[in-house]
Structures are given as C-alpha cells and as structure tokens.
Amino acid sequence: MALFVIGDTHLSLASNKPMDVFGGGWEGYVDKLREGFQAVGPEDTVVLCGDLSWGMSLEEAEADFAFLDSLPGVRKLMLKGNHDYWWNTASKMNRFFAEKGFSTLKILHNNCYEYGEYALCGTRGWFYEEKGDQKVFNRELIRLEASLKAAGERKKLCFLHYPPLYQGYRCAEIIALLEKYEVEACYYGHLHGGSHRLAVEGKYGPVVYHLVAADYVGFQPQKILE
Ligand SMILES: [Fe+2]
Ligand SMILES: [Fe+2]
C-alpha cells in the first residue's frame, strides 16, 4: 500500500482542448500520465490536486473521469482546482460517480480520508491571482479548517490546489492554519511552465511544501508514503 500525489491533469478527452499554451512538456500528456500511473499499485491511494478536467459539467467531464477511474489505484481523492468548472455539490458528484460506476473517484472537500496513522486533508486554497474576493477567501479558510478538524488527533498531510507560498507571496492565514493543526507536509499544484521557477519547495517553518503539478513532476504521480 502506498500514497501518491499529482495535480493538474487538465484532461479534455471529449473536447481536445489544446494544452500547448502551457509549453512543450504537455505534448502527448495523456499517454505520459497513463505511463506515469504504472508506478501506482491496485491497492494504492492517489490524491489529485485539482485542475483535473476542462469539462464545464459533470457530463462533459465524463470521459476524463472514466480515464482517471481506469488508472491504477483503489482510491483517487479529488480536490477542486480553479479550472474545475464541472465541480458540483458533493452529493451530486458522488451520485454521478456511483451511476457511472467510477468506484475509485472520491471527493476531498470539507472532509478528510484516513491513510494508516495519517489523515489526508485539503481544499482548493487561495492565491493572489484571485484578486481579493474576501468572501471566497473566508470560505476557503473555513473549508480548510473543517478538513483539518475532521482529522482529529491523527498526523496530517494537507493537499491544496493553489500554492500557499510563492516567491514574493505567502498566504499568512492558510499557513497559520497548517501550522496550528501541525500539518507535516503540504502538496499543491496550479503552477505551470515558467511559473515553476518561482515555486517554493522544502521546509518553511514547521511544514514541508511540495509542488506536484503534473508538468512539474514529469506526469509521474509522486510517492509520499508507503
Ligand atoms: Fe493547472
Ligand atoms: Fe490552477
């Protein structure tokens, strides 16, 4: 049993949205993802850190979900990215996945999942690009805290779509929550192409940060726990 993470699969199997705007690494990225997932075993868990499908609705994203569901791994825990316009209420998403038989797809939203002695927590997060809608920001803080609280006394790993840290930027409120709940490591996506060089990785205060956007990790899910 192992735990893996990757973000930003940016699938569009039903509509073929070109990904080359993000740079050359995206050429043939669906095949690269399929290959990268060969490292994942049938009993493993994979956290998917948002920007999963370009579909505008659950129906439009169905082919992308079918692809993700077909990849190895007993559970894929999905969190919301800024491009996941298909995102819906948890009950609608769960019903859709159940109806379609996508049994490995689970939603990480206001909740957490157990993994051995760890709790896997997460939400979309917040980034300065969003340009100050205080309500949305406060809602994200509430979601993050709900997820961390749900973990109780377990050790915690946190998954976000947006980077809480970036060169010249830190989201003090999110970092404060990660530290308050003694999160050991935080994994995030969202940054592509030229933005990679501005990513903050490694230990910052008590928390270790990792960028796991698909193009940053060569489309290979990253193993984080055995
Ligand atoms: Fe992305
Ligand atoms: Fe994003």
Averaged pLDDT for residues 116-144 = 91
Phi, psi of 26 (to 5 degrees): -85, -10
Tell me the pLDDT band of 20, cut-offs 50, 70 and 90.
Answer: low
116 Cα: distance to centroid of ligand 1 (angstroms)? 29
- On the question of pLDDT at 129 being above 90, the answer is no
Q: Residue 22 CA: which ligand is closest?
A: 1
Q: Rounded CA gap, 52 and 128, in Å? A: 21
Mean pLDDT of the chain: 95
- Rounded distance from Cα 163 to ligand 2 centre (Å): 9
- Of the pLDDT bands very low, low, confident and very high (cuts 50, 70, 90), residue 128 is confident
Handedness of CA 88, 91, 92, 95 (dihedral sign): positive
What is the share, in percent, of the chain residues with pLDDT greater than 90? 87
Percentage of residues in the chain with pLDDT exceeding 70?
98
pLDDT at 47 over 70: yes
pLDDT in tens, 66-75: 999 999 999 9
Ligand 2 center–CA 159 separation, angstroms: 13
How many CA atoms lie less than 13 Å away from 166 in the CB half-sphere? 19
Instruction: Domain 3-225: state its class.
Output: alpha beta
- For the entire predicted model, the pTM comes to 0.96
Q: What's the pLDDT at 57?
A: 97
Q: What is residue 16's predicted lDDT score, i.e. its pLDDT? A: 73
Per residue in 138-166, pLDDT tens? Answer: 999 999 999 999 999 999 999 999 999 99
Q: How far is the CA of 94 from the centre of ligand 1 (A)?
A: 23
What is the C-alpha to C-alpha distance for residues 158 and 193, in angstroms, rounded to an integer? 24
- Please tell me the predicted confidence (pLDDT) of residue 121: 98
